[in-house]
Structure 1
């Protein structure tokens, strides 16, 4: 074995980008609230490397509240067309303002405006309220660049456990587990 988990992720991710019809970068993000209640939702991978896996969100949302200091999270990629999944677990940290600014600048204008208009995860009395807020933000930034809202930015999950799951006939699946060991990673197998 002795495969590097980041190299293996890059290989599987490239294959998913080529074969998945929609959102090959979609991943389930699992968090736990202060009350111990688990919560899971889909987010989009927007960067990855040896330092971790990055996604962006409103930092006043429920998920951001569950990603506070010292928190941990789980990620799950599931690529049905390839009959594969990858599970990642580890501590969470905020990405730098510079990194958040750079990604925000790469987003489509309407997505940028939506980040200003949405009070993500908070109650909404009517859809029209949100649409009115969106139009007000569109007017506010008409003819100028849309800056990153101060309440919006990225998070990085730094893995301390990565599991690669491959479907096999008769539910005799293959599960490869990587955990940090010294300066590298130890690899082992798990029963399906």
Structure 2
């Protein structure tokens, strides 16, 4: 089972007078990955090398380092550590000593690897969306029970009779959640699956 990060992570290292800073974050889309890369890249540094991986999609960038010596090693580290939905940026400030191609691969890959090793992780749980309408009389009970069912509330829209919910639940407990919602409310809630997709 793949893992992602629970939040951002940072690791800094000096290698032969060059300063390397690796920064990593969980991302859900290419847009999120590119936004993170823009946010943490340092305009003062010549080399902001990066890689990201989201499912079958991935990209890497060498940022003026020799081809294949920066972005690709960062991407290989993400994959080697079993991570997904992750972006990593390694920024280098040149210290005057050339590292050579092998040295660059080790420096970028090693800095990224250490950053990811130190980062807090969580298992990626594939989820399915369920929608249902909850009468006002059942709102408190259902609201209190949703977390114990593993449901993450994505939207809650109130109307004259109660609230329309869209919740994301782990794929393997969808039937159980639908039955529990009906049982809790004596059949007043009839949930339905709205989308079979990764969230």
TM-score w.r.t. the length of structure 2 is: 0.24
Q: Which of the pair has more CA radius of gyration?
A: 2
